[in-house]
Amino acid sequence: MTKIILITGATDGLGRATAQALAELGHSLIIHGRNADKLAATAEALRATGAKIVTAQADLSDLVQVAEMARKVVDAEPRLDVLINNAGVLKVGDPLTADGQDLRFVVNTFAPALLTSLLLPIMPTNGRLVHLSSAAQAPVDLDALSGRRRLEAMEAYAQSKLALTIWSQAFAAEHPEGPVSVAVNPGSLLATNMVREGFGMVGNDINIGVNILTRAALSDEFATASGRYYDNDARQFSKPHHQATAPDEVRTIVKAIRERISAQL
């Protein structure tokens, strides 16, 4: 059955390669990008596979734009089978947004949480939410999450990825009927612009990540995995950072994320 799949950050790196693989399988894609020209060029290339391709433009560091994009998708699409929250940032020039939030948390945590919440009405109970986590996970500092404390790039990235992993887990607990919500570390240091710019290295075969994201989106092995974390470095479901298993801390972090996105719900 042809799926309707939305992929954020689909014009570069892992998102672009995953979009290519899913288009070649014949699925209908909604590809997100920030840059209009790159988005149009990516859509044109993907349409060569014969797949139906729709574009969705937004700067994920601006939650107003995220909400506008989500509402356009809800208005235009009969359903959404899969949401792959792929887009992420590590190193940025100025890490603060106009309203004083840490851009790494906005793009890596708040935007996926907001998209998930707004797109839920058109997702079937057997749909999939695939949130990109990371092997890099660090305890979430609520002052950093709320923009009151500045962090170095890697620390902010690691905290934002654990925050998203915690959000995915909490969402699954609150929606036992579905859709399935999983957090996936696609593999460490894959050959993406983020890795080249952040670590000065070419990186590992990007198809390692493409394979696991395709499986997470489509395969039966993830159909009953809601709330779980898949570590593709270990090639198995695993436990995330221990903060994700501390109920009081989980509740506090999820509450803080909800408060941050509430204005756009």
**Mind telling me the catalytic residues?**
133, 157, 161
DSSP letters spanning 195-258: HHHHHSS--B-THHHHHHHHHHHH-GGGTT-TT-EEETTTTEEE---GGGG-HHHHHHHHHHHH
Nearest residue to 1 (alpha-carbon basis) of 119, 121, 127 = 127
Q: Which residue has the tokens 């660090």?
A: 138
Q: Give CA angle at 138 (136, 143), nearest 5°.
A: 135
Coil, strand or helix at 100: coil
Distance set, CA 161 to CA 86, 157, 182 (Å): 11, 6, 13
The sheet carrying 53-57 orders its strands as 53-57, 28-33, 4-7, 82-85, 128-132, 180-185, 229-231, 236-238
Q: Please tell me whether the peptide bond between 176 and the residue prior to it is cis, using omega within 30 degrees of 0.
A: no
Q: Residue 244 contacts by C-beta under 8 Å, 6 or more apart in sequence?
A: 162, 165, 166, 169, 229, 250
Q: Give CA angle at 128 (137, 31), nearest 5°.
A: 85
Q: Which residue has the tokens 């990235």?
A: 157
